[in-house]
Amino acid sequence: MNTFEDLKIKKQLQNAISELSFTKLTPIQQVSYSSILSGSDFVGIAQTGTGKTIAYLLPILQNLTFSDQPHPRILILAPTRELVIQIVKEIDKLTPYLSIRSLGVYGGSNNIKSQKKAILEGQDIIVGTPRRLYDLVLANVLRLKKIKKLIIDEVDIMLDFGYKTQLKNIFEHMPNKHQNILFSATMTNYVDELIDDFLVNPIKKTISISGTPLHNISQESYAVPNFYTKANLLNYLLENKKEYSKVLIFVATKINAERLFEILNFESEISIMHSGKEQNHRTKSIESFKNGTSRILIATDVIARGIDIEKISTVISFDTSFYPENYIHRIGRTGRAEENGRSILFYTKKEEELKNAIETLMNYIIPVNTLPTEVKVSSQLTKEEKDKPLDPDYLHNNSIVESTVSIYDKSVNKIQEKPKKKSYIQTLKERYKKPIRRGDKIQNLNKKRKK
């Protein structure tokens, strides 16, 4: 099967695909269609930008027939609001000739009442973030007993956000018989654990080795001493508007996002998005970047996971990602649909170890460019750079991660020494400074009485 016509899908879907000008199947779409259609549990590992969303939507929609039952039959979980919105849009594109009801649910705004109302009106497909979905389940608004298929998209990053507990809770409310479908760009130990715990003899299809970047993305890097020199280099590169026509810039924290926005010389051409921004602002930022009003988009890792934008000329990692897998997701924003892409990584001496980890994961050494002589090397340091080592907790707390603790933090936190056990006598000495004897108190009372 190389083309969509080879799939022999129903006419309504075929008409929608023809209107979208889809012709050739991507590798992940080729291997996943029949497996998902068969009803077996499925795990698909493929690079970002290879059409994973269409890979699971097509077989699901092929099997989905008209129904007026109030409870949903398909549940799709995604880690971010932006990705939820993106998936719902893809469903809408594929179902103009089908009577399919779909709804996206997510937190971060005062929309839970409207979401509850929409669910009660009846839906076939629910797409949502784990926390909001579980809230709706606890409120007895969303009932999962009729779910036939559960899809977890970007499962690796979802576990990275600390959603494992919510996922387990959702699994507990699912019917015993249902199909589980997992898609991920990287395979980690935590993904393996989830598969072992909840999936039954899944079919696994790996299109690329975990951590392998797309072959059509060129990579390069610059060794830069500090934040402000990075900003100077970025200003220098972005002067070339022809070469850098549509640029996505990743930063580690929302503090750095705001700081960089203030420093860059292209204010009228820049959009910015992170968790500190309202949903309306974030949506407008994406739309401005999509339609070309903004040439540059500054974003943090999590927010950008829902971005599916064509023709991004360059992805610039202004801050080196703390987790190597996130770098793979970053550069997957460019070079989509088999077009050529470009990735540039800035790294300081403190971030060199992170760069090495990325190269180990990819089994590829990122070429290092010489810093242009026109770029001024600044001696100014940010508050975080002043004699402060790279701290994963700082990156986590100041990023837009909307969960509490990242699962990966367990592997980087130092093992705390167990406190030494103290004897009962030592505890009394510390509490009362000296031993208390009941006899002494009685003798003192007798002396007082005699007086």
Domain count, the chain: 2
- Could you tell me the two tokens for 14? 């075929």
Is 421 among the domain residues?
no
If asked whether residues 232 and 186 sit together in one domain, one would say: no
Distance from C-alpha of 132 to C-alpha of 386, rounded to nearest angstrom: 39
Q: Which pLDDT score is estimated for 356?
A: 95
Check residue 164 and give its pLDDT. Answer: 87
User: Within this chain, do residues 146 and 235 fall inside the same structural domain, yes or no?
Assistant: no
Identify the pLDDT of residue 449: 54
Would 368 be classed as within a structural domain?
yes
Residues 196 and 313 in one domain: no
Domain end, chosen from 206, 225, 255, is at 206
* The pLDDT of residue 232: 96
422 is a domain residue: no
Answer whether 311's CB lies under 8 Å from 341's CB: no
Clarify whether residues 295 and 398 are in a common domain. yes
- Quick one: 54 and 17 in the same domain? yes
User: Is the pTM for the entire model greater than 0.75?
Assistant: no
Of 184, 206, 228, the last residue of a domain is 206
**425 found inside a domain:** no
Range of the domain at 69: 4-206
Of 181, 206, 231, the position where a domain reaches its end is 206
Q: Let me know: does 319 contact 252? Beta carbons within 8 Å.
A: yes
Q: How many CA atoms lie within 13 A of 66 on its CB side?
A: 4
Q: What is the CATH number of the domain that holds 315?
A: 3.40.50.300
| 380 and 234 within one domain | yes
Q: Is residue 401 part of a domain?
A: yes
Same domain, 129 and 179: yes
Question: With contact defined as beta carbons under 8 Å apart, do 184 and 154 qualify?
Answer: yes
Please check whether residue 186 lies inside any domain of the structure: yes
10-residue mean pLDDT series, the chain (451 residues) = 87 94 91 94 85 94 92 94 91 96 86 92 96 93 95 87 88 93 84 89 80 79 96 96 95 93 93 84 89 94 71 95 84 80 95 94 92 95 75 44 35 43 63 51 52 50
CA count, 13 A, side-chain hemisphere, 60: 30
| 202 and 250 co-located in one domain | no
Asked whether residue 430 is domain-assigned, the answer is no
Does 245 map to a domain?
A: yes
On whether both 61 and 142 belong to a single domain, the answer is: yes
- Exposed / middle / buried, residue 343 (Cβ in 10 Å: 0-12, 13-18, 19+): buried
Radius of gyration of the chain (CA): 27
Q: Are 261 and 299 found together in one domain?
A: yes
Query: At residue 90, what are phi and psi to the nearest 5 degrees?
Result: -65, -40
177 and 314 both lie in a single domain: no
18 and 61 housed in the same domain? yes
